Chain A
Amino acid sequence: MKTGGAITIPITWAATRQGVVAALAYVPGYLVFGAAVGTLAAQKGLSLGEAVLMSMFVCAAASQMVALELWTADWTFAHILAIAGVTAMVNARFVLSGASLRPWLSPVRAGFVYPVLGVLTDGAWAASIRYHADGGRDFGFFVGSTVALWFTWSLASVPGYLLGALVHDPKAYAFDLIVPLMFTATVTPILARTGKYLAFVVAGGVAFAASLLLPGYWFIVIGALAGACSGAFSRGRAA
C-alpha cells in the first residue's frame, strides 16, 4: 500500500477474512440488541425502511434506543436538534475509540481509512484493538471486522421489527448485560498481554464515580480520559 511516510502497513485478503471471522463472536450480541431496537422502532411508528436506514447510517445501538425514546410524529427543528444532541452525547466515546486507532492506522491513506471508520461499531473496535494488541498490523483486519459488523447491524433490527417483542424480558436472560460481558471477554486477553492494569483500575474507578454523579453516558468518556492520563504520566517517570 502506498503511503506518504516511510512506514507502511499491509492489507491482505487473509487478514480481511480473519477480521470477518473475529467479528462473528459479536454477532449474537448484535442480534439481541437489533431485536430490541427493531421492536422499539415498530412501537414508535417507524416504517421498516426507516428502521433499516437508521441502523445502516447511524449504526450505534445505544444512541438509536435513546433517540427512539424521543421519536415523534410531529417534527420540529428543535426536536431534530435535541435528537442530534443526545446522539452526540451517547456516541462521544467514539471520539476516543477512533483516536486509539491512530497509532496503528496512521500510515494508511485517509481516503481508505475514513469511509471504514465512518461505520465503526464497538464490536469491530474491540476486535481490532485485540488483534493489534496481539501484534497484528494488517489494515485488512480492520476493514473485515468493521464491514462485517456494519452489515450485521444494518439488518439486525428486521426480525425484532417484524416479530414485535422478540425478547420479552431482556433482564431475565441477562441480555441487558451483553455489552459489559462482551467487553470483558475482549479485554481480558488484552490486559494479560499489555499489562495496562493501572489505566484499567483508574478508568474503572473514575468512570464509576462519574456514573453516580452525571447523567447519560459521560462516565465512559471521563473515565477513559482519566485512565489514558494515568498511562501517559506513570510510565514517563519509570522509563
Chain B
Amino acid sequence: MGRDLLQADGAYLAIAAMMIVTIATRVGGYWLLGRFPLTPMVRRGLESLPAAIFAASIVPLALRAGPAGWVGVFCVAGVMLFSRHEILALAAGLVAAAAVRMLGF
C-alpha cells in the first residue's frame, strides 16, 4: 500500500516534503522572535543581521570563485556607489568576471 503510493506519487510527496521544510525555515525565525521580548541587545543584533547575512553569502562565494569572483564583486560595488543602478552594476560585474575568466585567471 505504502509502496504503491510511493511508486505513483513519490515525486509529489518529495515536492510536498521540500515545501513543508522550506516554509518552516521562512516562518520559523520570524515566529520564534515573536515569542521572546526584544531586549536592546537582541534588537542591536537584529539590526546588524541583514548586513551579516549579505556578507556571509557574498564573501565565501566570491573568494572561492577566484579572481573572477572578487573582481566582479568590486566592480558591482563600485558602480553601485556611483550610479545606484542595480541592473547596470550587475551587468558590469558579469562582464568583468567573464573577462577575467576569458583571460584565463
Contact = CB atoms under 8 A, between A and B. Distances in A.
Interface in A78-115: 79-81, 83-84, 87-88, 91-103, 105-106, 113-114
A203 B58 CA distance: 10
Contact of A190 (B21, B27, B51, B97): B51
A25 B86 contact: yes
B51 to A, nearest CB: 4
A189 B85 CA distance: 10
Contacts, number: 316
Contacts of A29: 90
Task: Report the contact-size class of chain B (Cβ under 8 Å from the partner).
Answer: 35 or more
Contact of A96 (B29, B41, B55, B87): B29
B77 to A, nearest CB: 5
B20 A174 contact: no
B51 A207 contact: no
Contact of B56 (A74, A188, A206): A206
A197 to B, nearest CB: 8
A204 interface: yes
B45 A177 contact: no
Per DSSP, chain A at the interface is helix
Contacts of B56: 203-204, 206-207, 219-224, 226-227
A75 B45 contact: no
B44 A174 contact: no
Given A181-B93, A232-B42, A232-B48, A67 B14 contact: yes
A235 B41 CA distance: 9
A166 interface: no
A96 B48 CA distance: 11
Contacts of A120: 26
Interface string A119-146: 1100000100100010000000000000
Given A83-B14, A87-B22, A232 B45 contact: yes
Contacts of A94: 22, 25-26, 28-29
Interface of B: 2, 6-7, 10-34, 38, 40-65, 68-69, 72-73, 76-77, 79-81, 84, 86-87, 89-90, 93-94, 97-98, 101-102
Interface of A: 25, 28-29, 46, 50, 53-54, 57-60, 63-64, 67, 71-72, 74-77, 79-81, 83-84, 87-88, 91-103, 105-106, 113-114, 117-120, 126, 129, 133, 171-192, 194, 196, 198-208, 210-211, 219-233, 235-236
